[in-house]
Amino acid sequence: METKFWQLDRDCLDTDKINEAAAYIRRGEVVAFPTETVYGLGANACDENAVKKIFTAKGRPSDNPLIVHVATIEQAEMVAEVNDVARKLMETFWPGPLSIVLPKKPGIAVNVTAGQPTVAVRMPNHPVALALIKAAGVPIAAPSANLSGKPSPTTGQHVYNDLCGKIPCILGAEDAQVGVESTVIQVCQKPCVLLRPGAITKEQLAVFCGEIVLPGKAQIDVPQAPGMKYTHYAPNGKVYLVDTVQELKDAYGYWQKQGKKIAVLLPNQWRETGENLKEIQNSQLFFLGDACDLSQVARHIFKGLRYCDEIDAEIVFVASFPETGIGMAVMNRLAKAAQKEGWAYGRE
């Protein structure tokens, strides 16, 4: 299949291209598009056959439900039963990186929700995404636009690398600003459940939700937030988290002696330790940003994990970050990349 790759300017939308992409959606095809979190792979959420194409293109397990993207709160009300807490969250955080799980209304295709009675809805904060949803005139179901199991795409090029030949159309724009997927919160019953940490933090949500709990085992087995059940975000190499420069040096020395190809992802601060890192080749190093500004680290984390595959790393070392604010989302993704058994969000 030929894949069209159109680069758009978020500040000066090419409405012809948006309309062409919207026509693909209405015809039951899939389209990749930018959001502020990561790029999404969208299809008409009311068309079961179209949604099936998302699962096929990504190689995604079908028990893994999708987020429905809307352009207005009114459209969210057509998709889900919106309660008072959800409405406050929408008014406060939308458009933005928050997906809200609610009882679903009829009309949404059964494979969007993997047969569950609930649906996740989100209004993305990106002019291209919003224009596409409006032009299509339908809610758009969209997971991240990566091959299943690979790090989520934060550039149009990432999407192209993963899905060229498998989908008809990619809308590209600037690199994703947030860099990790949306926070997912279930607000159907009390207490609310934080299914996936993201840029909107538990503390921000607690103002409206009251007590918020982390998912129990039952929610992991029924994959409401499938990152918990499936290996996610992983580069091909084995990922190890390291806490200190000394730990990195020791582990690096060990694997280098075994002749392994190594990649090392670090905050900028570790560069300043200069002498200590001099045995590590520049070509193996990827700097994630300022450790004191974890939003920079979030923005670059998936690019960093993809870099590991670009240099064919067999062993990957990544620095640990504090689990405060968006750091919780960063560490959640890194723990999954490192396939830590039994790790939910914190290091309990």
The answer to the question of residue 284 lying near Mg ion (CB under 5 A) is: no
> Of 42-50, 114-122, 138-146, 162-170, which segment contacts Mg ion by CB under 5 A?
138-146
Contact yes or no for 144/152 (Cβ under 8 A) = yes
- Whether 230 and 220 have beta carbons less than 8 Å apart is answered as no
Q: Of 227 and 267, which has the nearer Cβ to ligand TXA?
A: 227
Does the footprint of Mg ion cover residue 99 (CB under 5 A)?
no
Name the residue nearer to ligand TXA (CB basis): 35 or 177. 35
When binding is defined by CB under 6 A, the residue of 181, 289, 294, 336 that contacts ligand TXA is 181
Kindly state the number of chain residues that form the binding site for ligand TXA, as judged by CB under 6 A. 31
Q: Shortest distance, CB of residue 185 to ligand TXA, whole angstroms?
A: 9
With binding defined as CB under 6 A, does residue 65 bind ligand TXA?
yes
Of 6 and 39, CB closest to Mg ion = 39
113 touches ligand TXA by CB under 6 A: yes
Cβ at position 276, least distance to ligand TXA in Å: 36
Query: Binds 289, which of Mg ion, ligand TXA, none (CB < 5 to 8 A, cut-off by type)?
Result: none
Residue from 22, 43, 66, 297 that binds ligand TXA (CB under 6 A)? Answer: 66
The span of 144-152, 234-242, 254-262, 338-346 binding Mg ion (CB under 5 A) equals 144-152
Tell me the three-class secondary structure of the chain, residue by residue.
CCCEEEECECCECCHHHHHHHHHHHHCCCCEEECCCCCCEEEEECCCHHHHHHHHHHHCCCCCCCCEEECCCHHHHHHHECCCHHHHHHHHHHCCCCEEEEEEECCCCCCCCCCCCCEEEEECCCCHHHHHHHHHHCCCEEECECCCCCCCCCCCHHHHHHHHCCCCCEEEECCCCCCCCCCEEEECCCCCEEEEECCCCCHHHHHHHHCCEECCCHHHHHCCCCHHHCCCCCCCCCEEEEECCHHHHHHHHHHHHHCCCCEEEEECHHHHHHHHHHCCCCHHHEEECCCCCCHHHHHHHHHHHHHHHHHCCCCEEEEECCCCCCCHHHHHHHHHHHCCCCCCCCCCC
Q: Is 141 in the site for ligand TXA (CB under 6 A)?
A: no
Q: Which of 139, 226, 304, 327 binds ligand TXA (CB under 6 A)?
A: 226
Site for ligand TXA contains 225 (CB under 6 A): yes
At its nearest, how many Å lie between ligand TXA and the CB of residue 101?
4
Q: Is 332 in the site for ligand TXA (CB under 6 A)?
A: no
Nearer to ligand TXA, 111 or 284 (CB): 111
Residue among 73, 54, 74, 78 nearest 65 (CA):
54
Interface contacts to ligand TXA, rule CB under 6 A: 35, 37-38, 40, 65-67, 97, 99, 101, 113, 116, 118-120, 122, 124, 142-144, 181-182, 184, 186, 195-196, 223-227
Interface contacts to Mg ion, rule CB under 5 A: 143-144
